[in-house]
């Protein structure tokens, strides 16, 4: 048995059981059931790996014979089936990773066992002190101490411990219910599973359940649970005993003990939660059968059902089998299935059998495929090439002399006949001339190499309108734009000598930014992208009588206070109603370079007299009515103007 694999599987199951306890049962007040679950989970974690359900495994079909069959066959098959193996003297085995793991495991187990021995020795050494008998139990008084703990039938209590009667009642519950047996069982299990942190947490949970049981029964003898809780709080700082004992003074568990002591008791229906152990065991049993390939699955709870063996076909050696003969591509084949005594089956196909396998089949099962179902053997290897023989008058016959292959024919050349010299061979005519693109005779010029591709970078169009003037007297124009959800800003500085210099915010160096600030009095604006649209703008105020407006022009404020700019990144509001004439117009709407069609609801509102207000988070390009550039780009649809919105947009209606 591979003990390392067995330990790994058992500890994995132990973790699953403890996880189920923490999820479903840790808050229940059925303490005896909790104690039983924790102890049985430790047992089942080590039992389940040796169990399996053979019926869950599929039948294994094998097409090759086991390698341990011995074959006796004629000499001519020796090169195929009989392989002479010369035994080699065993070399000293080197340490591998498994050996180091085993040594580490044994070393850890020995250390934990030594620590357990020291704890037991320290407890038994205390039994030599002054003792008093109380029936089957023994009380050991420890002079000038305030400790209180129990171990099997021994109750250790200090002479200075307050509330001795209550403490003795509490510890007698541990002794009567043999809680020390549970702790020693977990201590021995820790020696085996010392590397698993779940075993330490499980032992702590079990000791906590022991304290809940003792507190519950002790509080029943007191006036009420509140009085006993006050006693626990007043004596919370007493000295505890060894980790293998049940110490009355345990400050770490004080809060949990008081909470569970005053918690409402779980109802009878809560006991159904403990049935969670059944599906957990069933799932782990299936995993033990299917998920782990092992040799220690000793107990098969439900073996594979034996297949009803046919009684009509049986070999001379007692093996039962079934044949299936069929034709494919004009050839006859046969499949034979042998039924083993353990319920498994082995299948052999005639078209995949070699000569050695046929002999194995004959000797082990005493079976031969029907005539005509085994494909004919492959054609024989071609014979060795014959060599020409030369007979020498001096040496006789000379064998195995291969003549060189004939020379390849020479290329044919055009022949000229000269009146003076006769035929002149091997004179090649020059290649025919070819007309080039101009129609001239001569060789064609080589093709021109392909031109290198040049990536075209489109910068945003220059700003329009009046130039701005910085604090130092320089004129400039700025443009903001959005590319791939990244904002950028460009400023063009007009030097006093007429030159223009462009700077980009995302690529400007620290020196350039400082130069813009110190010399030109310019600082790039702080532009932000908002994931959500701002609330819709308020309705525009009524136009003052006599006010003159001809629609929203570039660079001027509209009735809502927004500014229609070429590429401004502020929240621009565009109104579809002129303030003076109240003439309603609907521009061509472009959203992120795509034409936008109003919904039926917005179209109906617009037709009923309401006017539309457009808002954009990133930028807006506005063209007023009859703009030549807009009409040339978008056609007649741009007669009423064009509104190009970028980023997240919103459309509201006002009356």
pLDDT at 186: 96
Backbone phi and psi for residue 237, each to the nearest 5 degrees, phi listed first: -105, 25
10-residue mean pLDDT series, the chain (655 residues): 83 96 94 96 94 73 39 38 45 72 93 95 88 86 89 91 88 94 96 95 95 91 79 74 81 85 89 94 90 77 60 78 81 85 81 83 86 72 61 57 69 58 55 56 56 41 63 84 67 84 88 90 70 44 42 46 44 55 75 84 81 74 78 82 80 75
Return the DSSP state at 518.
H
How confident is the model at residue 273, as a pLDDT? Answer: 93
Residues forming beta bridges with residue 346, ordered by sequence position? 338
Instruction: Check residue 541 and give its pLDDT.
Output: 47
Spatial CA neighbour of 636 closest among 584, 587, 581: 587
Query: How many residues can be counted in the chain?
Result: 655
pLDDT of residue 373: 79
Rounded Cα gap, residues 352 and 410, in angstroms: 52
Among 71, 53, 19, smallest CA distance to 357 is for 71
CA distance 625 to 576: 11
How many C-beta neighbours within 10 Å does residue 314 have?
A: 13
Task: Write the burial class of residue 196 (CB in 10 Å: 0-12 exposed, 13-18 middle, 19+ buried).
Answer: buried
Q: How far apart are CA 478 and CA 632, in angstroms?
A: 25
pLDDT at 454: 36
DSSP E strands in 87-169: the ranges are 131-134, 137-142, 148-151, 154-158
DSSP string, 18-47: HHHHHHHTTT-S-HHHHHHHHHHHHHHHHH
């Amino acid at each position: 048995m591979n003990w390392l694999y067995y330990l790994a599987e058992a500890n994995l199951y132990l973790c699953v059981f403890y996880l189920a306890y923490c999820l479903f049962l840790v808050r229940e007040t059925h303490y005896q059931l909790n104690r039983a679950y924790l102890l049985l989970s430790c047992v089942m974690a080590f039992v389940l790996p040796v169990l399996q359900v053979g019926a869950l495994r599929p039948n294994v079909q094998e097409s090759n014979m086991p390698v341990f069959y011995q074959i006796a066959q004629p000499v001519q098959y020796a090169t195929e089936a009989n392989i002479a193996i010369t035994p080699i003297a065993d070399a000293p085995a080197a340490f591998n990773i498994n050996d180091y793991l085993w040594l580490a495991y044994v070393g850890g187990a020995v250390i934990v066992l030594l620590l357990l021995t020291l704890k037991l020795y320290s407890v038994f050494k205390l039994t030599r002190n002054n003792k008093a008998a109380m029936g089957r139990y023994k009380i050991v008084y420890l002079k000038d101490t305030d400790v209180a703990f129990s171990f099997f039938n021994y109750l250790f209590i200090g002479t200075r411990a307050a509330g001795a009667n209550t403490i003795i009642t509490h510890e007698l519950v541990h002794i009567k219910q043999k809680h020390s047996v549970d702790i020693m069982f977990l201590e021995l299990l820790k020696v085996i599973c010392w590397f698993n942190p779940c075993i330490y947490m499980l032992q702590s949970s079990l000791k906590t359940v022991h304290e809940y049981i003792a507190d519950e029964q002790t509080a029943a003898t007191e006036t009420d649970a509140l009085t006993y809780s006050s006693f626990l709080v007043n004596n919370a700082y007493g000295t505890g005993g060894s980790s293998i004992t049940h110490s009355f003074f345990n400050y770490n568990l004080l809060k949990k003990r008081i909470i569970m002591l005053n918690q409402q008791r779980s109802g009878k229906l809560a006991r159904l939660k403990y049935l969670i152990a059944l599906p957990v065991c069933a799932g782990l049993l299936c995993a033990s059968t299917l998920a782990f390939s092992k040799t220690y699955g000793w107990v098969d709870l439900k073996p594979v059902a034996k297949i009803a063996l046919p009684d009509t076909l049986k070999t001379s050696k007692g093996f039962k089998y079934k044949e299936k003969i069929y034709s494919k591509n004009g050839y006859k084949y046969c499949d034979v299935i042998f039924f083993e005594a353990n319920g498994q089956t082995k299948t052999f196909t005639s078209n995949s059998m070699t000569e050695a396998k046929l002999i194995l089949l004959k000797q082990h099962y005493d079976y031969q495929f029907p005539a005509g179902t085994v494909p004919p053997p492959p054609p024989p290897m071609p014979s060795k090439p014959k060599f020409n023989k030369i007979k020498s008058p001096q040496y006789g016959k000379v064998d195995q002399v291969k003549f060189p292959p004939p020379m390849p024919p020479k290329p044919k050349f055009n022949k000229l006949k000269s009146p003076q010299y006769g035929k002149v061979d091997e004179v090649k005519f020059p290649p025919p001339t070819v007309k080039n693109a101009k129609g001239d005779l001569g060789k064609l010029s080589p093709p021109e190499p392909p031109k290198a591709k040049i990536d075209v970078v489109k910068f945003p169009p220059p700003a329009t309108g009046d130039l701005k003037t910085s604090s130092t007297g320089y004129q400039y124009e700025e443009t903001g734009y959005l590319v791939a959800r990244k904002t950028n800003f460009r400023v063009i500085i007009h030097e006093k000598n007429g030159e223009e210099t462009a700077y980009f915010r995302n690529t400007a160096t620290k020196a350039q930014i400082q130069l813009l600030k110190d010399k030109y009095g310019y600082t790039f604006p702080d532009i932000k992208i908002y994931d959500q649209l701002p609330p819709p703008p308020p309705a525009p105020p009524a136009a003052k009588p006599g006010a003159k407006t001809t629609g929203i022009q570039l660079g001027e404020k509209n009735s809502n206070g927004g500014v229609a700019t070429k590429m401004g990144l502020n929240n621009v509001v565009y109104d579809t109603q002129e303030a003076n004439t109240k003439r309603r117009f609907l521009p061509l709407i472009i959203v992120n370079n795509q034409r936008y069609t109003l919904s039926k609801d917005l179209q109906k509102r617009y037709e009923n007299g309401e006017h539309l207000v457009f808002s954009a988070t990133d930028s807006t390009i506005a063209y007023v009515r009859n703009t030549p550039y807009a009409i040339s780009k978008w056609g007649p649809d741009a007669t009423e103007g064009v509104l190009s919105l970028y980023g997240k947009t919103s459309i509201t209606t006002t009356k």
